[in-house]
Amino acid sequence: MSLSDTGLRLTKVELGFGQKIASLNWGLILLLTGTTGFGLLVLYSLAGGITDTWVEKQAVRFALGFSAMIIIALIDIRIWLNLAYVAYGVALALLVGVDVAGYASMGAQRWIDIGIISLQPSELMKVSLVLALARYFHEHTLEEAQSLKWLFVPVVMILAPAALVLVQPDLGTATLLLMCGATLCFLAGVRIWVFGVAFAAAAAMVPLGWQFLHDYQKNRILTFLDPERDPLGAGYHILQSKIALGAGGIFGRGFREGTQSHLSFLPEMQTDFIFTTLAEEFGMVGALCLLGLYVCILAYGMAIALRSRNHFGRLVAMGIGTTFFCYVFINIAMVTGLLPVVGVPLPLISYGGTAMVTLMAGFGLVISVYIHRDIRIPRRPGGPVS
């Protein structure tokens, strides 16, 4: 493809700072901010009309995440391409470190303390995996992606962190990593039957894997299959959550009127189960509004992916979008009783800093893809621009 075909704009490979600022995707930024605002409103209600319990902290986290997002967005997409394997390597090393440390201290160990902040390597891995797979498939042709020979590396890239996260034990994140990785393989062109085989293999592994699950994980799954099994014990979460949702009805009980959440019948109401409070107080209308916001965000991600002129960017944008979608789906399916209870927060709404920072960073990458959408990147460094 000659330069003249693509017009003058594309000739300019390097963008100035001002240009970058000007070309930030303000629509997406507005959507993300609005969704977070919705979340803050629910937290405000939950705290009983005071802001210093959760709202202020959450707002500060959003501000931090927002800044990170902008900074990440302004960094050239090629730099991210170059850093992809490094980031993945660091994340993997940290995961191993956490597992070893966790073995020593007995019990769930997901955090690593690096002085000022405590970091959850599994969160870092969510973004790094997208970057690494995107780079891998960026550097390989469609034919290569379709052949089994080249599939070995990405499969290991997915399974290694997933396994490490699973033994932490964090079923939710492991699922997220698997789904996200599989989606990227799918988008890269891996043959459909491979997914069929993988799925069949996974199904065959279920009885074996069951033995490796912790008791509380087994309980969660059994409870999911039969919620009334133990209504005051393991089934309590999901039963109370369904009561809250149902009691909300179409129009909800009104802002700050949700009895289930305000009388603390709902456990973890400000974190994983926040959707129930939202749906109790704002009803199905409120829940659909939130889903609408999420769909818009996903649509933006999708549009950005399709408009990118480099494969890395496309895969990164779709990968982040898929991760985001998985968060949304798993969380809502879980609180509505469609999936077992796994610890996955509701993106941008749940109280908590880790997921917020991860997602904002992810969206920073998506915006970076947007800003640098017209940059063509050769498959290999120094190779021809395809």
Partner 1 sequence: MKRETGRYKTFSRRSALLVGGQGLLLSALVSRLYYLQVIRSEEYRMLADENRISLRLLAPPRGLIVDRNGEVVAGNMQNYRVLLVPEQAKRTGEKLAVSADRTLQALAKLIPLDDFQRQRVLREVGRKREFVPITVAENLTWEDFSRINVHAPDLPGIVPDVGETRHYPLGSHLAHLVGYVAPVSESDPIDDPMLELPGFRIGRSGVERKSDLLLRGKAGSTHVEVNAHGRVIRELKRVAGHPGRKVAITIDAHLQEFATNRMGEESAGAAVIDVFTGDVLALVSTPSFDPTQFAFGLSREEWNTLVTHPRKPLLNKAVTGQYPPGSTFKMVVALAGLEGGIIHAGHRVFCPGHMTLGDRKFHCWKRGGHGELTLTEGIEQSCDVFFYDVARKVGIDRIAEMATRFGLGQTTDLGLGTERPGLIPTREWKLKRTGEAWQAGENLVAGIGQGFVLTTPLQLAAMTAMLANGGVRITPRLVLPADEPLAAPWDADTDPRSLKLSPGNLAAVREGMVRVVNSQRGTGYAARIRDKGFEMAGKSGTAQVRGISVAERDEGLPAIDTIPWEHRDHALFVGYAPIGSPRYACAVVIEHGGGGSSVAGPMVRDILLQAQKTESGRRRSRQFADAVPTPLVPR
Map the footprint of partner 1 across residues 167-206, applying CB under 8 A: 183, 186-189
Instruction: State whether residue 34 is helix, strand or coil.
Output: helix
Is residue 51 a contact residue for partner 1 (CB under 8 A)?
A: no
Q: Which listed residue (39, 172, 248, 362) binds partner 1 by CB under 8 A?
A: 248
Stretch that binds partner 1, among 29-37, 86-94, 139-147, 359-367 (CB under 8 A): 139-147
Instruction: State whether residue 94 is helix, strand or coil.
Output: helix
* Nearest by Cα to 266 from 283, 252, 247, 251: 247
Which CB atom, from 102 or from 362, has the smaller least distance to partner 1? 362
Which CB atom, from 134 or from 164, has the smaller least distance to partner 1? 134
Is residue 323 a contact residue for partner 1 (CB under 8 A)?
A: no
Report the phi/psi class of residue 256: left, alpha or beta, with left for phi > 0 and alpha for psi in -120 to 50.
left
Q: Minimum Å distance from CB 336 to partner 1?
A: 5
Surface-to-core class of residue 12, CB atoms within 10 Å of its CB (0-12 exposed, 13-18 middle, 19+ buried):
exposed
Under a CB-based contact definition with an 8 Å cutoff, are residues 270 and 350 in contact? yes
Phi, psi of 119 (to 5 degrees): -115, 140
In the chain, the DSSP E strands lie at 112-114, 117-119
Q: Helices 171-188 and 311-335: crossing angle, nearest 10°? A: 140
Is residue 6 a contact residue for partner 1 (CB under 8 A)?
A: no
β-strand partners of 114: 117
Which CB atom, from 61 or from 253, has the smaller least distance to partner 1? 253
Preceding omega of 121 cis (within 30 degrees of 0): no
**Quick one: the chain helix, strand, coil %, rounded to 5?**
70, 0, 25
Q: Minimum Å distance from CB 8 to partner 1?
A: 20
Q: Minimum Å distance from CB 60 to partner 1?
A: 25
Map the footprint of partner 1 across residues 145-164, applying CB under 8 A: 145
Report the phi/psi class of residue 63: left, alpha or beta, with left for phi > 0 and alpha for psi in -120 to 50.
alpha
Is residue 386 a contact residue for partner 1 (CB under 8 A)?
A: yes
Q: Minimum Å distance from CB 305 to partner 1?
A: 7
Stretch that binds partner 1, among 20-28, 170-178, 218-226, 235-243 (CB under 8 A): 235-243
Is residue 122 a contact residue for partner 1 (CB under 8 A)?
A: no
Residue with tokens 């199904």: 203
Q: How far is it, in rounded angstroms, from Cα 99 to Cα 84?
A: 23
Q: Minimum Å distance from CB 55 to partner 1?
A: 21
Stretch that binds partner 1, among 124-132, 157-165, 215-223, 317-325 (CB under 8 A): 317-325
Map the footprint of partner 1 across residues 251-310, applying CB under 8 A: 259-260, 262-265, 279, 283-284, 287-288, 291, 295, 298, 302, 305-306
Instruction: State whether residue 86 is helix, strand or coil.
Output: helix
DSSP string, 202-252: HHHHHHHHHHHS-HHHHHHHHHHH-GGGSTTTTTHHHHHHHHHHHHHTTT-
Is residue 243 a contact residue for partner 1 (CB under 8 A)?
A: yes
Q: Which listed residue (141, 153, 214, 254) binds partner 1 by CB under 8 A?
A: 141
Map the footprint of partner 1 across residues 72-101, applying CB under 8 A: none
Which CB atom, from 124 or from 335, has the smaller least distance to partner 1? 335
Q: Helices 353-371 and 311-335: crossing angle, nearest 10°? A: 150
Stretch that binds partner 1, among 51-59, 195-203, 312-320, 356-364 (CB under 8 A): 312-320
Site track for partner 1 across 338-357, x = CB under 8 A: x-------------------
Binding site residues, partner 1, CB under 8 A: 1, 141-143, 145, 183, 186-189, 240, 242-250, 259-260, 262-265, 279, 283-284, 287-288, 291, 295, 298, 302, 305-306, 311, 314-315, 318, 322, 325, 329, 332-333, 336-338, 386
